[in-house]
Amino acid sequence: MSQPFDSDTLGFLISDVARLFRAEVERRIAAAGVAVTPGEGRALANVARCGTVRQNVLAERMGVEAMTLSGYLDRLESRGLVTRTADPIDRRAKLVQLTPQAEDVLVEVRAIGAAMREDLTGRMGVERWDELIGALKVLREELSTMKGDAPRSGEPS
């Protein structure tokens, strides 16, 4: 008989935390009556983080299928929160950018994020929170490097 998996391994913990975190964000967005779905909010936040970005790159960064993102962007564009234009370098590709109207929604989404951070740091302390964020950034960088997204330190770029 095989041994059961330890649910406190890094992979399980990250999956569980990501699932629970996303569910709580979705709950808070719905409770606040923000004018976007959680997926649309994630799309807006990612465009805000990236600036003008190709639609396919945005889908990859968000970890969603191109068709899923297309649905989010269709709805956001119809409400005047984003624009999509042809990329002048490759007219088949679409560039996504925020409109000034998106800022009001982003203010609400940021406030939800800040409230969650406050709730969580109240339980675990700011120092432990900052250590966790620092460790996750290092882990993200290492995993990106393993995937081949960036050269490792000391390797030619």
**pLDDT value of residue 47:** 97
DSSP-based three-state secondary structure for 95: strand
Model's pTM, two decimal places?
0.75
Nearest 10 degrees: CA dihedral of 67, 19, 145, 42? 50
* Alpha carbon distance 152, 141 (integer Å): 9
- pLDDT(154) > 90: no
**Domains by residue range for the chain, with CATH:** 26-146 (1.10.10.10)
* pLDDT, tens digit, 9 for 90 and up, residues 123-150: 899 999 999 999 999 998 999 888 665 5
* pLDDT, tens digit, 9 for 90 and up, residues 47-77: 999 999 999 999 999 989 999 999 999 999 9
